[in-house]
Structure 1
Amino acid sequence: MYVIVLGIGAWAMNRAIDYGFIIGPGFKLPAHFAPIYFPMGNAATGFFVTFAMLAGVVGVASAIAGLNHIRSWNASSLPSAASITGVAWIFTLLAMGFACKEIELEIRNAHLRTMEAFLIILTVTQLVYIAAIHGGA
Structure 2
Amino acid sequence: MASGASKSAAFMLLILNMGLYFLMIVIGSWAINHGIVRSRETAAILTIPARIFPIYFPMGNLATGFFIILSLLAGVVGFTSSITGLHNVFLWNAPNLHAAYASSLASLSLTLLSMGLMLMPSHSVST
Name the TM-score class by shorter chain: 0.5 to 0.7
The alpha-carbon deviation at position 37 of structure 1 amounts to 1.9
Percent sequence identity is 43
Q: Do structure 1's residue 97 and structure 2's residue 116 form an aligned pair?
A: yes
Q: Given residue 11 of structure 1, which amino acid in structure 2 is its aligned partner? A: W
1:56 matched to which residue of 2?
75
Partner Cα distance (1:34, 1:15) in 2 = 18
* Unaligned ranges ≥5, structure 2: 1-19, 118-127
* RMSD, aligned CA: 2.1
- The runs of at least 4 aligned residues of structure 1 exceeding 3 Å deviation read none
Q: What secondary structure does 1:97 align onto?
A: coil
Partner Cα distance (1:81, 1:61) in 2 = 11
2:97 to 67, 78, 81: 78
Q: Given residue 114 of structure 2, which amino acid in structure 1 is its aligned partner? A: A
With structure 1 as the length reference, what TM-score do the two structures score?
Answer: 0.60
Partner Cα distance (2:60, 2:23) in 1 = 19
Q: Do structure 1's residue 43 and structure 2's residue 62 form an aligned pair?
A: yes
With structure 2 as the length reference, what TM-score do the two structures score?
Answer: 0.65
Deviations 1:37-68 (A, max 9, x none): 21222122101100100110011011112111
Q: Given residue 3 of structure 1, which amino acid in structure 2 is its aligned partner? A: F
Partner Cα distance (1:33, 1:89) in 2 = 32
Q: Do structure 1's residue 33 and structure 2's residue 51 form an aligned pair?
A: yes
Looking at both structures, which has the greater relative contact order when contacts are Cα pairs under 8 Å and sequence separation is at least 6? 1
Partner Cα distance (2:116, 2:65) in 1 = 13
Q: 1:79 to 1:34 in 2, by over 3 A?
A: farther
Q: Which has the larger radius of gyration?
A: 2
